[in-house]
């Protein structure tokens, strides 16, 4: 299976429990918003009721609130409630839905960093494995060379001992590199596959240098697309709606009802009374104005409570803005530093490889010591590993920038 970084991210979004939990929350918040909107619209119900009341000795009802011994109600009811608190609650739920969407995006961008780091760590481990294999082969060749030179009387036995120690050390490093490849591939597989598997090939090139956007571009994109800032704004909007909803508790609310159907001693649209046919179908309307008078200060307390949340939301928004400015400068500087060092690390790896080759030739001609050969081999392995670590550092720094801007830079 060919696996690029983009395909790994797509698989991770399908299988990540944390990311999908954020999506579920956002979807649920969107449904809450739709329910709050529907609650503001007129509602239509069809009510059916049968009421039996004990009669008195004259054939009338014993309870003054009831109209007849047998009463049938079958009516359609259109209901509308006009309440400013409901409007404010709808704005609050809308802000909560937007907040949930922003949190889902935050989870998505955090997933990008996690997957990118695991992906490039696995790539780096593969390159380090190849370097360790070459170093182990070189150590074996050098050991064989020292044995031949010792047999010819050109070097001391101490050189052979040193070369054998070096070869054993290189073999151990090769085994550790194999273990690192296994572990990094497992770490990546856990993130992206629903069932753990290892039959994939990483296709992105760690050595390819992805472009770094300028600081001005990052600042503009972050100001427009940063999800943390949007989340803080929606939190403030939600708290402001809470204040409005609490204040609406001082205002009257109006309920309107319209009924159409029957309310009759007979379950029929027409009835016969004293030889006359009467139409049982009819309509009625009801308007109720509720005026709050006294609730022991509950409305005032709710207002104070929502104002405290609003104050906290303003502080969090201010902090998010300051934090965003600092993170932009810090993460961009991190990526820029890693990019600038990458060229030097690549050159160091090339020079170390050439130094190892030349030192081995000089030792064969009797112009270098065994310690110089060992040092050159160690320097080559270290320089190569430093380059791969620097490449991973740069790509992870770019992924971290993506959490601020939403733009994933790929080569």
Give the whole-angstrom CA distance, residue 200 versus residue 54.
81
| Cα–Cα–Cα angle for 231, 233, 238, rounded to 5 degrees | 90
pLDDT of residue 59: 63
The residue to which tokens 């303003």 are assigned: 314
Do 57 and 111 share a domain, yes or no?
A: no
Confidence of residue 62 (pLDDT cuts 50, 70, 90): low
- Is residue 285 a part of any domain in this protein? yes
Same domain? 52 vs 183: no
DSSP string, 182-234: HHHHHHHHHHH-SS-----EE-S-TTS-PPPPPHHHHHHHHHHH-HHHHHHHH
Domain assignment present for 118: yes
Residue 365 inside a domain? The answer is yes
Cα–Cα nearest to 131, from 298, 323, 349: 349
Give a yes or no: residue 410 inside a domain.
no
Last residue of a domain, one of 234, 267, 291: 291
Residue 178, pLDDT > 90, answer yes
Beta bridge partners of 264: 72
Q: Kindly state the DSSP code that residue 248 receives in the 8-state scheme.
A: G
pLDDT band at 311 (very low <50, low <70, confident <90, very high): very high
Residue 410's pLDDT is what? 47
Position 174 pLDDT exceeds 50 = yes
Do 31 and 62 fall into the same domain?
no
At 285, is the pLDDT very low, low, confident or very high (cuts 50, 70, 90)? Answer: very high
> Which pLDDT does position 323 carry in this prediction?
87
Residue 296 lies in a domain: no
User: Where is the domain boundary, 240, 266, 291?
Assistant: 291
**pLDDT tens digits along 343-361:** 899 899 899 989 988 988 8
- Same domain membership, residue 318 and residue 171: yes
Asked whether residue 238 falls in the same domain as residue 327, the answer is yes
Backbone angles phi, psi at 105, to 5 degrees: -70, -35
Instruction: Quick: pLDDT tens for 129-143.
Output: 988 998 888 888 888
Number of domains observed in the structure of the chain: 2
Query: Nearest CA to 403 among 10, 3, 116?
Result: 116
Q: Which of 291, 319, 341 is the last residue of a domain?
A: 291
Q: How far apart are CA 91 and CA 243, in angstroms?
A: 11
pTM, 2 dp:
0.71
Reading the block at residue 243, the tokens are: 């204040």
- Token readout for 386 is 């430093």
Q: Are residues 208 and 126 in the same domain?
A: yes
Pair of tokens at residue 321 = 């803005």
Quote the CA–CA distance of 227 and 377 in Å, as a whole number: 48
Calpha distance 218→386 (Å, rounded): 28
70 and 206 inside one domain: no
* Domain identity same for 224 and 332: yes
List the structure tokens of 64: 């003054």
Q: Tell me if 411 is assigned to some domain.
A: no
My answer on whether 30 and 107 are in the same domain is: yes
Do 218 and 112 sit in the same domain of this protein?
A: yes
Q: Is position 225 within any domain?
A: yes
Look up the domain containing 164 and give its range: 2-41+84-251+301-405
243 shares its domain with 388 = yes
Give yes or no: residues 217 and 88 share one domain. Answer: yes
The percent of residues in the chain predicted with pLDDT above 70, rounded, is 96
Quick check: 314 pLDDT over 80?
A: yes
Q: 230-258: per-residue pLDDT in tens? A: 888 888 888 988 898 889 889 898 999 99
* 193 in any annotated domain: yes
Q: Model confidence over 19-39: pLDDT tens digits?
A: 888 889 989 999 988 988 888
Mean pLDDT lowest among 177-181, 268-272, 288-292, 404-408: 404-408
> How much is the pLDDT for 411?
44
CATH code for the domain in which residue 106 is found: 1.20.1600.10
406 pLDDT more than 70: no
């Amino acid at each position: 299976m060919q696996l690029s970084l983009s395909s790994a991210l797509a698989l991770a979004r399908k299988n990540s429990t944390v990311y999908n939990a954020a999506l579920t929350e956002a979807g649920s918040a969107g449904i809450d918003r739709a329910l709050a909107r529907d609650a503001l619209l007129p509602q239509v119900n069809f009510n059916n009721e049968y009421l039996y009341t004990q009669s008195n000795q004259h054939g009338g009802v014993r309870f003054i609130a009831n109209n007849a011994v047998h009463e049938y109600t079958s009516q359609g009811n259109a209901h509308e409630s006009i309440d400013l608190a409901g409007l404010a609650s709808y704005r609050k739920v809308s802000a909560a839905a937007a907040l949930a969407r922003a949190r889902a995006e935050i989870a998505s961008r955090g997933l990008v960093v996690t997957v990118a780091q695991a992906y490039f760590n696995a790539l780096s481990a593969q390159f380090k494995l190849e370097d360790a294999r070459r170093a182990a082969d070189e150590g074996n060749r050098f050991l064989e060379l020292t044995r031949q030179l010792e047999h010819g009387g050109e070097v001391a036995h101490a050189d052979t001992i040193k070369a054998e120690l070096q070869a054993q050390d290189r073999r151990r490093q090769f085994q550790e590199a194999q273990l690192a490849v296994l572990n990094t591939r497992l770490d990546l597989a856990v993130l992206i596959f629903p069932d753990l598997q290892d039959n994939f090939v990483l296709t992105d090139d760690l050595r390819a240098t992805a472009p770094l956007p300028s600081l001005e571009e990052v600042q503009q994109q972050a100001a427009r697309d940063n999800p943390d800032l949007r989340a803080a704004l929606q939190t403030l909007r939600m708290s402001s709606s809470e204040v409005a909803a609490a204040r609406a508790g001082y205002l009257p609310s109006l309920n309107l009802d319209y009924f159409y159907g029957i309310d009759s001693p007979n379950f029929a649209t027409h009835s016969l009374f004293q030889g006359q046919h009467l139409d049982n179908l009819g309509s009625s309307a009801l308007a109720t104005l509720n005026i709050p008078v006294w609730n022991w200060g509950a409305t005032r307390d709710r207002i104070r409570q929502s104002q405290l949340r609003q104050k906290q939301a303003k502080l969090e928004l201010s902090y998010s803005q300051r934090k965003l400015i600092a993170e932009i400068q810090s993460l961009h500087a991190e990526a820029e530093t890693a990019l600038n060092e990458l060229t030097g690390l690549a050159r160091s790896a090339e020079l170390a490889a050439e130094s190892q080759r030349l030192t081995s030739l000089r030792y064969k001609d009797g112009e270098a010591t065994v310690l110089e050969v060992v040092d050159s081999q160690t320097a080559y392995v270290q320089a190569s590993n430093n380059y791969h670590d620097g490449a991973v550092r740069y790509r992870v720094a770019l992924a971290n920038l993506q959490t601020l801007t939403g733009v994933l830079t790929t080569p």
